[in-house]
Amino acid sequence: MSMAARRVAFLGLGKMGAPMAANLSKACAVRCFDPAAAAIEDARKLDLSMADTAAAAMEGANTVVTMLPTGKHAADVYLGDGGLLEKLGEGGLALDCSTIDAETAQKIGTQAAEMGVHYMDTPVSGGTAAAAAGTLAFMCGGTAEGFSQARPVLEAMGKKEGIFHAGPAGSGQVAKACNNMLLAIHMIGTCEALEMGARSGLDPATLAEIMTASSGRNWSLEVYNPVEGVMPNAPASKGYAPGFAVDLMVKDLGLAQEVAALAKLNTPLGALAHKLYSDHQKAGGSGTDFSSIILALREASPA
């Protein structure tokens, strides 16, 4: 199906969903819904077409994109009588961009297959800046045919080279869990290295340049430096206003631990990262960017 023929219902207009819907609306017809008044107000600032209910947004839609908080929300809206799968019907396309547990994604995928709906779990990576810029990465779980249907829709919200078919339904969620566990680990390591250098008299910007050209190079160091003032556009230089919030990292690390348990794998660094971020969240880090873990490190080791 061509993008011009797509009629998309977009459900879930938070900090990620709203800019994603705005980018998608440049490529095809999109009608949106979110139950939160604040989200609706923000969405209207982006000139999004709004519906009064999810059912109204689904009228005439052959595609649905969802960005939901938890697996329970996804199961509630997709499954059962009157669920999104039933409303789409055979041949419809359902893309769940939420980060949820793989088990729920597999359950939705199984029911979708029985109903002839192309369902993909398509969690995203890149944060709010990438959502606004239309440069998100998507990790997709579902059938090859579903992925073929999904790709042009996802390309309207992400970068072509960042759209991956990870495997069957649920695989996107597993890939996201693996990615974000590693992200948390190298962010913590980056914070420790930069703080150790700073306390030893090195300029953080100079040390970052050295490590970026050396074997310690990583995304947190090169793109998302956690030290204030090193990168003007990084959250650290904006009071740690969230691009990717601590609360979301805690959620994702919890999901990663569930994946590890199902895989019967001990992940000591992943488990420690989950504890450190959970402690930081409870100690006042909630609502800040995940790079603010450097503040918790400083508080734990006063100069």
Task: Scan for tokens 């199961």, then name that residue.
Answer: 75
Q: Does 107 qualify as catalytic in the annotation? A: no
Tokens of 21: 């819907």
Tokens of 18: 């709203």
CA 190 – CA 121 distance, rounded (Å): 31
CA 103 – CA 106 distance, rounded (Å): 5
Residues 88, 61 contacting (CB under 8 angstroms): yes
Partner residues linked to 31 by β-bridges: 9
**What one-letter code names the amino acid at 260?**
A
Instruction: Say whether 272 sits in a helix, a strand or coil.
Output: helix
Any idea what the Cα angle at residue 255 is, between residues 178 and 159, rounded to 5°? 50
CA 155 – CA 93 distance, rounded (Å): 15
Residue in 160, 176, 251, 275 annotated catalytic: 176
Q: Is 231 exposed, middle or buried (0-12, 13-18, 19+ CB in 10 A)?
A: middle
By annotation, the residues acting in catalysis are 176
